[in-house]
Amino acid sequence: MEFNILSHFKGLEEMPTDPLKADEIGTSLFLTGNMGPRISEKIDEKAKAAGMSRRNFIKSSLGFSAAMLAANEVTGMKFFEVGTAEAADIDAKKEAIKLAQASNNFIVDVHTHVCTRPGHYQLGVNTSERGMWFVQLLDDLGKAFGMVNGTRDMNVENYGKMILKESDTTVGVFNPFGFREDYGGQDMIPIEYQVGVRNNWPDNTIMLAGGLTPNQGVGATLDRLRQYVDDYKISGLKLYTFDSTPQKGWWFDDEKRAYPIWEECRKLGVKNIGCHKGIPFGQFYARYAHVEDFDATADDFLDLNFIAFHSAWPYHNELAALKGFKPQRKNLYCEIGSTFAATVTSRPLECAHVIGTLLRDLGPDYVLWGTDSLLWGNPQWQIEAFRNFQIPDELVEGHGYPKITPEIRRKVFGENAARLWNIDKRRAMTAKAELMATAHA
Q: What is the binding site for Zn ion (CB under 5 A)?
A: 372
Nearer to Zn ion, 139 or 372 (CB): 372
Q: How far is the CB of 437 from Zn ion (least distance, A)?
A: 30
Q: Which is nearer to Zn ion, 190 or 392 (CB)?
A: 190
Q: Whole-number minimum distance, CB 175 to Zn ion, in Å?
A: 6
Residues comprising the chain, all counted: 441
Closest distance of CB 375 from Zn ion, Å: 7
The residue among 71 and 173 lying less far from Zn ion, judged by its C-beta, is 173
Residue with Cβ nearer Zn ion (187 or 372): 372
Q: CB 52 → Zn ion: shortest distance, Å?
A: 36
Cβ closer to Zn ion: 221 or 373? 373
Specify the residue, 64 or 174, whose C-beta has the smaller distance to Zn ion. Answer: 174
Alpha carbon distance 370, 279 (integer Å): 15
Beta bridge mates, 108: 171
* Closest CB to Zn ion among residues 361, 372: 372
Distance in angstroms (rounded) separating the CA atoms of residues 325 and 379: 34
Contacts of 169 (CB under 8 A, 6+ apart): 107, 108, 109, 163, 379, 383
CB of 112 to Zn ion, least distance (A): 8
Among residues 160 and 176, whose Cβ is nearest to Zn ion?
A: 176
State the greatest distance between any 2 C-alpha atoms of the chain, in Å, as a whole number: 66
Strands of 205-207's sheet, edge to edge? Answer: 108-112, 171-174, 205-207
Residue 330: CB minimum distance to Zn ion, A: 26
Q: For the range 289-295, what are the long-range contacts, defined as Cβ-Cβ under 8 Å and sequence gap of 24 or more?
A: 289/241, 289/242, 289/315, 290/315, 290/318, 291/315, 291/318, 291/319, 291/322, 292/318, 292/322, 293/241, 293/251, 293/252, 293/253, 293/254, 294/252, 294/253, 294/319, 294/322, 294/332, 295/253, 295/322
CA distance 288 to 419: 29
Q: For Zn ion, which residue has the nearest CB? A: 372
Tell the smallest beta-carbon distance from residue 435 to Zn ion (Å): 23
CB of 111 to Zn ion, least distance (A): 6
